[in-house]
Structures are given as C-alpha cells and as structure tokens.
C-alpha cells in the first residue's frame, strides 16, 4: 500500500516546526521544505522524484541541498516536476551558478544530476501504482496543487492557495477521495494579509469548503489543515472549530502517515 508521510507542514521554522514536505513511499517528495533535512543519508539516496507546487523558498529550499548531498553517490539523476513557469524560476533564480550550481549541467548535459520535467494542469503522471495529477490553485506566483491516487484511496494537497473555484471543481470529480490537505496560513484577524498574500484564513477556508459536493464524498473524508503560522496555530484551529460545517477537520501533524 502506498504511504504518504508528512516531513514538514508548518508555515515557519523554530523548535519542532518544519516547512512543507511530504514523502510518498520512499522515492517521491511532494515539495521539499526544511522537513527534508531530518531524513537520513540512506533515505535521501532513495529519493528520485520531486513534485513542486510552486517556487517559494519554504517549499523548495532543500532541493539544492538534497542534490548537493547525494550527487556523485547516486547513479541516476533526480527529476524535478513542475509547471513551465516554476521550472523557469528555479533555473533563473536558484540553479544559476550565483545562488547554487546548475546541476542540470553537472557533470555534463548528457548525464546531469538534476533533470527537469514540465507538467501541465490535469496531466497524470504515473509512477508505479501511484498517479499524481496537477490541480489548479491561485497564489501570488504560478502554483499547482496535487491529486495523489494510490491503489485504494486518493488524497488532495492544495499547496498554497487562496479562493479558487477551479480547484474545487476538479476536487468534486475525484472518486475515492479520503484525505484533503488544505492550507490556512493566517487567523481571521489577518484577513487583509491573507488576501494580499493569496493565502487562506478560517473565514475564507469555510467559503472554500462549502464548495465541496458533500453528496459525492463518503463520511470518511477527512480534512487536514497545513501551513499554519507558528504562534498562530492554536488560534487558527479554534476559529475553524467554531464553525460547524459537517466535516472532520484537524491540524496536520509532522510525521503523520496516510495510507493510499
């Protein structure tokens, strides 16, 4: 059975907080925030695929460090999957010889340590028994969410997003959806900041969850909240709990495991 393990799910760092990264089985990362840094060398060497939601540092910071750590030990390159816009940002602003070496050209163009794979919305990437499909979201930079389908269940991870009708239109088409991981970065007192930065706060989250076609999903659907800002997490979850919406909603936890 496919397993998804949460390596990091915080909107910041400090103490036990790690920024966003999910490990699918042993070889696939969904985003690569600071949670990747807790993996052992043996675990790092098994990672062959990285699916990126968007180019913000809290989601990509450990891609350069991961590749730098395992290069020369691995015999195959690591493939980074993202939209054309996100890949362009990574090439121009990270792997540009100024911030970090261009591992797409090392040791040479024919046998690089890093390969790029462009993905498009709705495109299904099949890796063994796992299917990963990019979903539309709305953020301050080009971004996607991901639908991850295992042999038995599906999970949706929104990545960073604000109000986005197109996302929920696609979610409502998914069969066997058991887990929904959705961001809520700010409390209701920071509504203006949430709108400006294109994140969600609890009041906005409830608007979005109301778009779920609940008749389409079983009562087993569970909603998990990610990207909570450190120090605001308890307040955000209280504000969410204050609204009765008929869904199981809880905070996502580091090291949590989902079976798909």
How does DSSP assign 145-177, residue by residue? EEEEE-SS-EEEE--S--S-HHHHHHHTT-SSE
The whole-angstrom separation of Cα 190 and Cα 129 is 41
Crossing angle of the two packed helices 202-209 and 233-241, in degrees rounded to 10: 40
The tens digit of pLDDT for each residue in 229-260 reads 999 999 999 999 999 888 999 999 999 999 99
Phi, psi (deg, nearest 5) at residue 217: -110, 155
Given pLDDT bands bounded at 50, 70 and 90, which one contains residue 214? Answer: confident
* Residue matched to tokens 């979610």: 171
In sequence order, the β-bridge partners of residue 236 are none
Taking the chain, what is the end-to-end CA distance rounded to the nearest angstrom?
6
Q: Is the pLDDT of residue 92 over 90?
A: yes
Q: Is the pLDDT of residue 228 over 70?
A: yes
Q: Is the pLDDT of residue 102 over 70?
A: yes
Q: Which of 173, 185, 115, 165 is nearest to 147 (CA)?
A: 173
Given pLDDT bands bounded at 50, 70 and 90, which one contains residue 156? Answer: very high
Selected from 3.40.50.1000, 3.40.390.10, 3.60.15.10, 3.30.2130.10, the CATH number assigned to the domain covering 3-255 reads 3.60.15.10
Supply the pLDDT for residue 215: 75
Torsion of CA 148, 149, 155, 158, to 10 degrees: 30
Determine how many CB atoms are found less than 10 A away from the CB of residue 81. Answer: 24
Q: Is the pLDDT of residue 133 over 70?
A: yes
Given pLDDT bands bounded at 50, 70 and 90, which one contains residue 52? Answer: very high
Close Cβ partners of 161 (under 8 Å, ≥ 6 residues apart): 137, 138, 139, 143, 145, 167, 182, 183, 198, 199, 200
For range 104-109, the mean pLDDT: 93
Supply the pLDDT for residue 175: 86
Judge whether 138 and 164 are in contact, CB under 8 Å: yes
The whole-angstrom separation of Cα 123 and Cα 196 is 29
Supply the pLDDT for residue 218: 63
For range 192-211, the mean pLDDT: 97
- 3-class secondary-structure state, position 223: strand
For range 193-210, the mean pLDDT: 97
Q: Is the pLDDT of residue 130 over 90?
A: yes
The whole-angstrom separation of Cα 81 and Cα 29 is 10
Predicted model pTM: 0.96
């Amino acid at each position: 059975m496919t397993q998804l393990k949460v390596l990091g799910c915080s909107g910041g760092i400090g103490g036990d907080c790690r920024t966003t990264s999910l490990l699918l089985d042993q070889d696939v990362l969904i985003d690569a925030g600071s949670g990747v840094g807790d993996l052992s060398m043996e675990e790092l060497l098994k990672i062959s695929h990285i699916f990126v939601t968007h180019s913000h540092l809290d989601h990509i910071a450990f891609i350069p460090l991961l590749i730098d750590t395992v290069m020369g030990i691995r015999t195959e390159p690591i493939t980074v999957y993202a939209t054309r816009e996100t890949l362009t940002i990574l090439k121009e602003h990270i792997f540009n010889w100024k911030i970090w070496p261009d591992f797409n050209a090392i040791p040479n163009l024919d046998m690089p340590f890093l390969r790029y794979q462009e993905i498009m919305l709705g495109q299904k990437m099949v890796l063994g028994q796992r299917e990963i499909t990019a979903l539309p979201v709305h953020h301050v930079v080009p971004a996607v969410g991901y639908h991850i389908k295992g042999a038995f269940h599906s999970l949706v991870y929104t990545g960073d997003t604000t109000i986005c009708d197109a996302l929920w239109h696609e979610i409502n088409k998914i069969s066997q959806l058991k887990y929904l991981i959705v961001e809520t970065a700010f409390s209701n007192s920071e509504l203006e900041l949430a709108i400006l930065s294109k994140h969600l706060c609890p009041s906005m989250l409830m608007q979005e969850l109301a778009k779920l076609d609940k008749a389409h999903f079983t009562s087993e659907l569970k909603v998990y909240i990610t990207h909570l800002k450190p120090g605001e997490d308890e307040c955000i979850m209280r504000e969410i709990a204050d609204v009765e919406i008929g869904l199981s909603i809880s905070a996502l936890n580091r090291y949590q495991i989902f079976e798909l």
